[in-house]
Amino acid sequence: MTKEELIALATKVKEGKATAEETNLFFKEFKEKIDDLSQYLSSLKDKKI
Amino acid sequence: MNLETPGAGQTPEEMGVKKIETGLNEVGKQLEQVDPSKMTPEELKVLGAQIEVIFATIAAYAGMKMFEFGFGLAGGDSSHVTGDIAVRLGKVLESALGIIGGTAVVGVGVASFCDGIRKLVKNLSKIQAQKPPTSKPTE
């Protein structure tokens, strides 16, 4: 899911217009983006303070 | 699977928010450990892009515009995030600073995430402080 699609879905959930399925999809996709960042940060082993 | 049947008395949204907060909390701790002075411009760019997606999503979910809060990190100002280094993260940092004002809207996970961003900004400003002044480009 692209950034724009994720933002659009987030807005839909916020506005209460999302179905339960869309709500679940939003949180799943958002969590994946967070996991991506977490994995990237983990890969920066020699870039720590 | 019936997606409309929440578990443990929670709605799907409440359960989703909890998962996101937990994830953000962990990432926030990781961000605090990153030393941007050891990162290449390309690595900063990748990191910035990933942070941007998360901030933009939080902003949308919280019903906030990315830039409506303006600058204001713990009473600070924007001057320490201008310059060559910060430009690499550009609007990502601007978004980060802006959205901190709305952390209470979503929850503690976001606050932790913002703490990580705040630390990153602080470290970026240290790098900038170490850089010699650059002359203005001539045309």
Structure ipTM: 0.93
Domain count, chain B: 1
B90 within a domain of the structure (yes/no): yes
The verdict on residue A32 lying in a domain is yes
Contact B6, A24 (CB under 8 A): no
Q: Is position B23 within any domain?
A: no
**Residue B22 belongs to some domain of the structure:** no
- Residue of chain B whose alpha carbon sits nearest to that of A41: B30
**Residue B113 reports pLDDT greater than 90:** no
Of B12, B18, B14, B50, the residue nearest B31 (C-alpha): B50
- Does the beta carbon of A4 lie under 8 angstroms from any beta carbon of chain B? no
pLDDT tens-digit series, residues A21-43? 999 999 999 999 999 999 999 99
Give the closest-approach CA distance of A6 to chain B in angstroms: 7
Q: What is the pLDDT of residue B2?
A: 41
User: Do B20 and A21 count as a contact with CB atoms less than 8 A apart?
Assistant: no
Please report whether residue B32 resides in a domain.
Answer: no
pLDDT of B11: 79
pLDDT of residue B104: 35
Q: Do B12 and A20 touch (CB under 8 A)?
A: yes
Report yes or no on B4 lying in a domain: no
Would you give the DSSP letter of residue A15? T
Mutate to test the interface with A, among B22, B34, B57 (most CBs of A within 10 A): B57
Helix axes B108-130, B41-62, angle to 10 degrees: 150
Residues recorded for chain B: 139
| B106: confidence class by pLDDT, cuts 50, 70, 90 | very low
Residue B133: the pLDDT is 54
Mean pLDDT of chain B: 60
Instruction: State how far the Cα of B109 lies from the Cα of B41, in Å rounded to an integer.
Output: 28
- Domain containing residue B55: 39-130
Interface membership of A46 toward B (CB under 8 Å) = yes
Q: Does the residue A39 lie in any domain? A: yes
Helix (H, G, I), strand (E, B) or coil at B74: coil
Cα(B19)–Cα(A35) distance, rounded to whole angstroms?
11
Which residue has better confidence, A29 or B61?
A29
> In this predicted structure, what is the pLDDT of residue B68?
35
Token pair of A18, please? 């999302």
Instruction: Please indicate, yes or no, if residue B21 is contained in any of the structural domains.
Output: no
Over range A1-11, report the average pLDDT: 91
* B16:A27 CB<8 A: yes
Q: Hey, are the CB atoms on A33 and B50 less than 8 Å from each other?
A: yes
Domain carrying residue A10 = 3-44
How many A-B residue pairs are in contact by the CB < 8 A criterion? 99
Q: Residue A1 corresponds to which tokens in the numbers above?
A: 């899911």
Judge whether residue B130 has pLDDT over 80: no
Between these two residues, A49 and B93, which has the higher pLDDT value? Answer: A49
